[in-house]
Structure 1
Amino acid sequence: MKRDLNDTLVFLQVVRLGSFTAAAHALQIPKTTVSRRVRELEQAIGAQLLRRTTRQLSLTEAGAVYYERCQSVADTLEQAEHAVQQLREGPRGWLRVTVPFSFGVSWFAPMLAGFRQRYPQVRLEILASHVPLDLVGEKIDLALRLGALPDSSLIARRLASFPTGLFAAPAYLEREGHPAGPEDLMQHRTLALHQARRDVGYVWPLRRAGGRLKDYRVDPQILANDPALLRDAVLAGEGLTLAIEQSLDEDVRAGRLVRVLPEWIGPPQDLNAVTAREHVPSPKVTALIAYLKAHMAGDVA
């Protein structure tokens, strides 16, 4: 027998409210209709979902499994309806966003003025963090994340891809000399991110233009979990680092840092806009993602 989604929604309401009478009142339909729809759902599924007595209603084992699996469907439908209602009014309300600490300070925060001018009804709450936050548990609408995203419960939309390279302060290079090639990195002081750790130790993937990436061993003197934490150490002449070029452009232009082995480049770092799979993106989330993509493409000031 063909199943009717409305029958499932009626069943969910019965379970949530604990009775056919309460469900009928909430749905504004006759109690007999509620009872009939649940009965037709059981016939379509081929299993009893509810135990009915004169005093109480309870779930069967099959009913408990079905209820648990269908709750997310109902929640998604409610979110979709809410998103459509918001769309009619335009993006508005609080938008909770988490960003990597380094990007939050140097890149994301300066762009907010343009976004706020375009969407004055949106209020932003920004959480800068060195570690990925739980989007569902922290009730976060959108996360900006760099690099690979192994968590399959997330939906990622790539905003940009940044080239990486080696950098050092002139003072360090005057004192320690320039490496002749990546093979010399083990003889230099290096400043690395924790994620550079491999089974063989710490490595930096590097390649010449047109070539393939190859892992080169490094022996870090300083480790950190965010590039911003390494920048001051590099500026102070503590050693070499592998970093996103754009994040250090201003320091290079000012002469505070120098590109080392410029013919060698590291792996590009993707910047992704990430949402939880179970959350239907609201108009304000969609608006921010579109704005960020346009900004990265140079289509907005």
Structure 2
Amino acid sequence: MIRDLNDTLVFVCVVRLGSFTAAAHALQIPKTTVSRRVRELEQAIGVQLLRRTTRQLSLTEAGAVYYEQCKSIADTLEHAERAVHQLRDGPRGWLRVTVPFSFGVSWFAPLLAGFRQAYPEIRLEILASHVPMDLVGEEIDVALRLGALPDSSLIARRLASFPTGIYAAPEYLARHGTPQTPEELLHHQTLTLHQARRDVGYVWPLRREGGRLRDYRVEPSILANDPALLHDALLAGEGLSLAMDQSMQADVQAGRLIRVLPEWIGPPQDLNAVTAREHLPSPKVKALIGYLKAYMPDGVA
């Protein structure tokens, strides 16, 4: 039989605070009511839970067992109440976000600044990493990740899709010439991500607008596991790189990079906001995801 849960919660509060008086103050009910509810609980389950003296309150053996089993119920209800208060009070508090190193670009920082202006009671902790972090173990609220997400224990919300193209520094093109067709890429130095590997070797998928992607062979001079590592080599004139257009925009405008084979397009890179499946999104998480989806740079959402 299920007993009155309120009586159990009153009992847990008494044990935690160490007295009927303190529990009465915390629960904002008369001390006599606290005493009566604990007594009725003991009568209902047929055992004494507390030893009462004029100086001390202590648990019986049965009371200790009952308390250990019931305190998690009280904790769950407290968490639920805090979640409801968050909904009522709006987004606030620390928001822990992980992003790829390659997001250290001029268009992303203003987005975060705009988010902070829109939600001044949210404080951001940004963790940059070139490898996916354990969202639960590292207490990450949101992870921004590019590309496919093989981990089915996570929930992904697509924010944008970034087009990609081929780029090079003017210094590299001055030394090695500019390729005129994708087939010529095989004879150039290329800066390539590890995942470009296929059975036939390393390839870049490319297409003309309106056409289908086709794999073109490349011979990497530098391999890396993060686009940011390739970016420095690209600026140094070490080769050609297939990269997100949005990440290259500032360098192109400054004359540090040139778009090569501009009529050829690489595969789009999806940006996802990822959260752990076991947690319901909090108001602050929903605020960040909604803001990023609404204010991503034009043409990529």
Partner of 1:145: 145
CA distance in 1, matches of 2:182, 2:274: 34
Alignment of 1:115-264 (within 5 A): 115-264=115-264
Give ranges in structure 2 of 5+ residues lacking alignment. Answer: 14-36, 47-61
**Do 2:191 and 2:241's aligned partners in 1 also have CA atoms closer than 8 Å?**
yes
Q: For each residue in 1:199-256, what CA deviation from the matched residue of structure 2 results, as whole angstroms up to 9, or x when unmatched?
A: 3322211111111111112111111222121122112211100000011111112222
Q: For each residue in 1:22-63, what CA deviation from the matched residue of structure 2 results, as whole angstroms up to 9, or x when unmatched?
A: 78823978357679xxxxxxxxxxxxxxxxxx89979xxxxx
Alignment of 1:1-301 (within 5 A): 25-26=11-12, 30=41, 81-296=81-296
Deviation at 1:161, TM superposition (A): 0.7
Give ranges in structure 1 of 5+ residues lacking alignment. Answer: 11-20, 36-53, 59-66
**Do 1:76 and 1:278's aligned partners in 2 also have CA atoms closer than 8 Å?**
no
Deviation at 1:92, TM superposition (A): 1.0
**SS of corresponding position for 2:175:** helix
CA distance in 2, matches of 1:34, 1:268: 64
CA distance in 1, matches of 2:285, 2:139: 13
CA distance in 2, matches of 1:22, 1:83: 22
**Do 2:208 and 2:264's aligned partners in 1 also have CA atoms closer than 8 Å?**
yes
CA distance in 2, matches of 1:104, 1:84: 35
* Distance change (3 Å), C-alpha of 1:55 and 1:198: same
**Do 2:106 and 2:250's aligned partners in 1 also have CA atoms closer than 8 Å?**
no
The code of the aligned residue for 1:132 comes to P
CA distance in 2, matches of 1:219, 1:114: 41
Q: Percent identity?
A: 72
The code of the aligned residue for 1:270 comes to D
CA distance in 1, matches of 2:253, 2:269: 22
* Distance change (3 Å), C-alpha of 1:75 and 1:96: farther
CA distance in 1, matches of 2:168, 2:105: 21
Deviation at 1:75, TM superposition (A): 9.3
Q: How many residues align?
A: 253
**SS of corresponding position for 1:173:** helix
* Distance change (3 Å), C-alpha of 1:24 and 1:180: same
CA distance in 2, matches of 1:152, 1:257: 38
The code of the aligned residue for 2:144 comes to L
Between structure 1 and structure 2, the one with the greater Rg is 2
The code of the aligned residue for 2:12 comes to A
**Do 2:93 and 2:122's aligned partners in 1 also have CA atoms closer than 8 Å?**
yes
The code of the aligned residue for 2:137 comes to G
CA distance in 2, matches of 1:34, 1:195: 63
* Distance change (3 Å), C-alpha of 1:172 and 1:287: same
**SS of corresponding position for 2:271:** strand
* Distance change (3 Å), C-alpha of 1:75 and 1:265: farther
Deviation at 1:87, TM superposition (A): 1.5
* Distance change (3 Å), C-alpha of 1:104 and 1:85: farther
CA distance in 1, matches of 2:75, 2:158: 27
**SS of corresponding position for 1:219:** strand
Aligned CA RMSD, in angstroms, stands at 3.2
Q: For each residue in 1:264-301, what CA deviation from the matched residue of structure 2 results, as whole angstroms up to 9, or x when unmatched?
A: 11100011111000011111111111111111165xxx
**Do 1:102 and 1:226's aligned partners in 2 also have CA atoms closer than 8 Å?**
yes
Deviation at 1:167, TM superposition (A): 0.6
TM-score if structure 2 supplies the norm length? 0.74
**Do 2:105 and 2:247's aligned partners in 1 also have CA atoms closer than 8 Å?**
no
CA distance in 1, matches of 2:285, 2:254: 36
CA distance in 2, matches of 1:291, 1:284: 10
* Distance change (3 Å), C-alpha of 1:81 and 1:280: farther
* Distance change (3 Å), C-alpha of 1:92 and 1:34: farther
